[in-house]
Structure 1
Amino acid sequence: MSVLPDPGASRAVLVGTSRYQQLEQLPAVSNNLQALAGLLSGPLSLQLPARHVAVVENPAAAHTVVSEVRRAAAEATDTLDSVGDLGVSRCASVVSGHARGCFGGRCSCRGVSAQVTVCVMQFLLGLLDRQASEAARCRIDFKYALAMELDDSGFHHSVLVDFRGRLTQDDCADRLLDLARA
């Protein structure tokens, strides 16, 4: 038997882009976002309070979406899927928010916060290093979680090997694990 989430404890973030520089415009996206928001709040669906459904339309930068997802994740106490995008973003943001202290400022071009986020998402989604690197290069959900520009070329998979090697030094992995459990 399926159990629906508690509407008062759940949040939804809807993201859509209808304006493009080099592609045909998609004006229906705006209408679809509003219709889906209404459906999620309506009596025939999850019945979320309207204030619990955020619509991010035509975001100018990745951080716009990331901040909205993080806000929703922080407010939500019930989700449809604890390993879904919201759960991944929440876990990754909690851990990565405290990661810088473990390395005393020693980080690669992406920074420790992004590396921790990739490693958490990689683990939760069961990806190999090359697959995680490819996901950061190609998948929009990874780009948003990592606050990358859409045309960012990503990183070489060996960055993850180096990062995990640094985790084994000075009990940093234990401190990050403690943060994730908190």
Structure 2
Amino acid sequence: MRALPDPAASRAVLVGVSRYTVLEPLPAVANNLPALARALTGPTSWNLPTGHCTVVAEPDTARDMLDPVRDAAEATSDTLLVYFAGHGLLDGRGELFFGLPRSVQARSYTGVTYQALREIITDCAARRFVVILDCCMSGRALGLMGSEDLLADQAEIDGSYLLAAAPENGRALAPPGETHTAFTGELLDVLQHGIPDGPRELDLNSVYHRLRGELAAKGRPAPQKRDRNTAGRLVLAYNQAYRPASAPARAVSDESAWPNPDDCHTPLAFLEALAETRALTGLTIPALAQRADPPLAPATVTRLLNTTTLPATWKTTSRYLAACGLAPDQIGAWQAAWQRLRTQEQEPARPQPPVPAAMPPPARSWWDRLAGRQDRWPRHRGM
């Protein structure tokens, strides 16, 4: 079920750096911040009180950037959104840090590390977290969310969503002469004008798929995402292009755009993928129910998407997927995933034989860990 944040208990912090002394200036970033603040405080998005959306322009030091994030985190119990636009740089170990006005490439102490930002977020008591990074190398943060480090383990929480403007080794784009950066400009267009033939409410997954499609069509860097559990259903805006109708589903020409049922290892992941499939079509629940053969009751589709357990039978799910526009072989793959998960649910847990106690491996020194990673350090020159 899609969820809309409580404006009274939610906060947003928008950080942007457009003026640099050593690095190339990014004048479009200065335009991103007020436009995004207007969107988030407006009635078509989260309708945040003005005091709940903090704009941090041209922070000179790490504290100038992170103290407002800390203050917002301590005041948030529902949803915290943190946005950064500016230069994304890599340190000598290939890890992401954010460029401040006097930052220098490869010297993380001249900027703000993503680790420092993430420590604040993971210590926050908010129910949900949204991080939007419009900077080069922002995809590096995806790996940090999924790594095996201790801090990454702390980030394995419900409701966290990271949207990155560029792949792990890619550059974000600030086209000369355009008012906004490529990624944020497309995001603002979705917030202000909506998605034609899309649902009434635009959740994060719907927005992500729209951004990815539009930016790819223009030959621009493709955004990336990483989400935990139900975070993708968080509503970001009301769809200004929404028109109730039983219009045909939007064609999805690239089969790789559909969720892959083989990646669903839990019932919840399977149900999330079902909901994402409908989001890709842009159809409302009543319109999709009418497309089924024979038609389904809208309440039946709602129950299918909002349940927390696997469907007991396959027939309704098959009709739902066919109405979304999936081919028979694709539906067959979904059925195989459903059967696999049903079998896992029904298998009794097998007792495991006791494992003899073993001596823990000797702790690796900081230098050993550093030496083991050297060969993997990328050599990049950031913007």
Q: What's the TM-score once normalised by structure 2's chain length?
A: 0.24
Whichever structure has more strand as a proportion of its residues is 2
Structure of greater relative contact order (alpha carbons < 8 Å, 6+ residues apart): 1
Larger radius of gyration: 2
Q: TM-score, normalised by structure 1?
A: 0.49
Please identify which structure carries the higher helix content: 1
